Amino acid sequence: MRENLNTHFLLRLCMIWLYLARNFVVGDKIYNRIDFPKDFIFGAGTSSYQVEGATYEDGRKSSIFDTYAYSAGVSNGDVAAGGYYKYKEDVQLMAETGLDAYRFSISWSRLIPDGRGPVNPKGLEYYNNLINELVKHGIQPHVTLLHLDLPVALETKYKGFLNQSIIEDFTAYADVCFREFGDRVKHWTTVNEANIFTMGGYDAGNSPPGRCSYPFGAICTEGDSTTEPYIAAHNVLLAHASAFNLYKNKYKGKQHGFVGFNLYAFDFIPYRNTTEDEKAVQRSYDFFIGWYMHPLVYGDYPETMKINAGSRIPTFTKNQSGMVKGSFDFIGLNYYTIILVVNSKLIDEPRNYYGDIASIWIYYNHSSPLEGSPFPVQPWGLQQVMEYFKKVYNNPPLYIQENGQVTSHATNVNDPSRVEFLQAFIGALLDPLKNGSNVKGYFVWSFMDLYELTAGYEKSFGLYYVNFSDLNLGRYPKLSQKWYSGFLKGADVSVNNEANQVDDFSNVLRLSSAVEDDFRPLAL
């Protein structure tokens, strides 16, 4: 019996080796961690609502992420991955993986349950314990202040980011975090995916706080898709800049940390080789990236936005412009895929944010990942985004704060498509580094399986499988964890250069109807 088991085990090892050899080892480009700068950071991330659970324990109150999840009527993050109670075990797994850093967010409604006022001692204790455990294991804490989870108290009181009262309250919250944790936390991000937060939350209505208006967004009970995305974004920028300047003036001299801002990024590609689609690509960059980066770098919105949105987009005062301009030490980018762009005409008013772009965004599933994932392995898209930031925004310090592959949670620990994705994208950072891109670090999304905004527990990104059916929420390393850990500890990696060649879309309109099924409008 033992002999049969040993034979079976060896056969499985051989099969795995052959699979890896065929798919991941045979390639044109070999790289190793030593090819990256010595101070380059490799990590992985989560967010508070998606990982912690314990949503109504130890004094925490509701956030808009809670209420949005409940309103969807499917699943929620009440338990999530149980990180609130399993943080010591999780940090041990991070250390075993070899992470330099762990990116996580603080739950504002756990730390200050009413948004403003008394600090919750239990919340303070939890984050101190987590940070101390990370430092104890030599792992840098990279902390995000807001990840879709504004306290409901502030949303109810004055509609959150639609009211300039949020600027003072967000700054007060940031002050507590800087004061209590800044002696150990040196990398702060104020807002996660600010462009998705304001586009999805106030135009499409498909993310917290779920505001929109007919006919532009999902079914929402209140909102105005024509104005609210712009108002919310304006206040996000002012709140961020206020927190940045607070840190700069009050804490930086003694804590020596850095405060950054995070955006979701697509690489926009013209659908056809036409002047019209090229212009639509630039409008897309202006509206999606420039919406925040232009004020942060130049002090005002892109001209295209001011022309197309007109009086619906707020105006910066001279003082506000001066406060926002330059208010970042680094930019965090969350990148997953490319978007094809088709020119469209500017429709008559009333017009929402997406209508102002006068473009159609199309998701193109070019490759065929092993598990039918929606994220093609096209790392050249990330390279082009980095080049865009280098040329247009003066080469700011960048952290790739999210990048990863989604699979069905049912795939368990066998995730070769995630290995393929990660090795291609990590390897794709080397050329931009050689060409002068100021990228400082890379974080896999996500460290473990989490509650996901649009998919609940059906899809996952984790390096560790979490058994959500088990009351103990056991963690199990996936193939991707073993690959990432091996890379972090010095293993050579080979990746086929074909994955990093820009696709030719010039004949895209002459594709067969079967292939055209892969093209579909993007629903954000």
Alpha carbon dihedral 467, 473, 479, 485, in 10-degree steps, equals 170
pLDDT at 252 over 90: yes
Q: What is the pLDDT of residue 363?
A: 80
Q: What is the pLDDT of residue 19?
A: 37
Lowest mean pLDDT across 7-16, 146-155, 292-301, 489-498: 7-16
Q: What is the pLDDT of residue 364?
A: 64
3-class state of residue 384 by DSSP: helix
Domain span holding position 469? 26-521
User: What's the angle, vertex CA 374, arms to CA 372 and CA 380, rounded to 5?
Assistant: 115
Q: Look at the chain and report how many structural domains it folds into.
A: 1
Query: What confidence tens digit (pLDDT) does each residue in 49-100 have?
Result: 999 999 999 999 999 999 999 987 779 999 999 999 999 999 999 999 999 9
Lowest mean pLDDT across 12-16, 91-95, 167-171, 341-345: 12-16
User: What's the angle, vertex CA 422, arms to CA 419 and CA 428, rounded to 5?
Assistant: 140
Long-range residue pairs from 34-41, CB within 8 A, at least 24 positions apart, any chain: 34/490, 35/430, 36/429, 36/430, 36/433, 37/433, 39/440, 40/439, 40/440, 40/441, 40/442, 41/100, 41/101, 41/140, 41/399, 41/440, 41/441, 41/442
Is the residue at 10 inside a domain?
no
User: What sections of 393-428 are H helices per DSSP?
Assistant: 416-427
Is the residue at 12 inside a domain?
no
- Strands of 295-383, DSSP E: 330-343, 359-364
Q: Which residues pair with 452 in a beta bridge?
A: 456
Q: b/e per residue, 209-239, with b = 16+ CB within 10 A?
A: bbbbbeebbeebeebbbbbbbbbbbbbbbbb
CA distance 439 to 434: 11
The pTM (predicted TM-score) of the whole model is 0.90
Percent of the chain with pLDDT over 70: 87
Q: What is the pLDDT of residue 365?
A: 61
Average pLDDT of the chain to the nearest whole number? 89
CA distance 325 to 389: 16
Query: What confidence tens digit (pLDDT) does each residue in 134-160 have?
Result: 999 999 999 999 999 999 999 999 999
For residue 345, give every residue at least 6 positions away whose Cβ sits within 8 Å of its Cβ, in sequence order, or none: 358
Give 55's DSSP letter: T
Q: What is the pLDDT of residue 496?
A: 62
Query: What confidence tens digit (pLDDT) does each residue in 192-222 have?
Result: 999 999 999 999 999 999 999 999 987 788 9
C-beta of residue 440 within 8 angstroms of C-beta of residue 398:
yes
Which of 429, 454, 424, 428 shows the shortest CA–CA distance to 440? 429
3-class state of residue 113 by DSSP: coil
Structure-block tokens of residue 275? 């002047």
Q: Write out the catalytic residue numbers.
A: 193, 402
Is the residue at 481 inside a domain?
yes
- Residue 271: give its domain's CATH number: 3.20.20.80
> Measured over all CA atoms, what is the biggest interatomic distance in the chain, rounded to whole angstroms?
80
Q: What is the pLDDT of residue 8?
A: 42
Q: Calculate mean pLDDT across residues 507-512.
A: 32
Q: Calculate mean pLDDT across residues 385-396.
A: 98
Q: Calculate mean pLDDT across residues 158-173.
A: 99
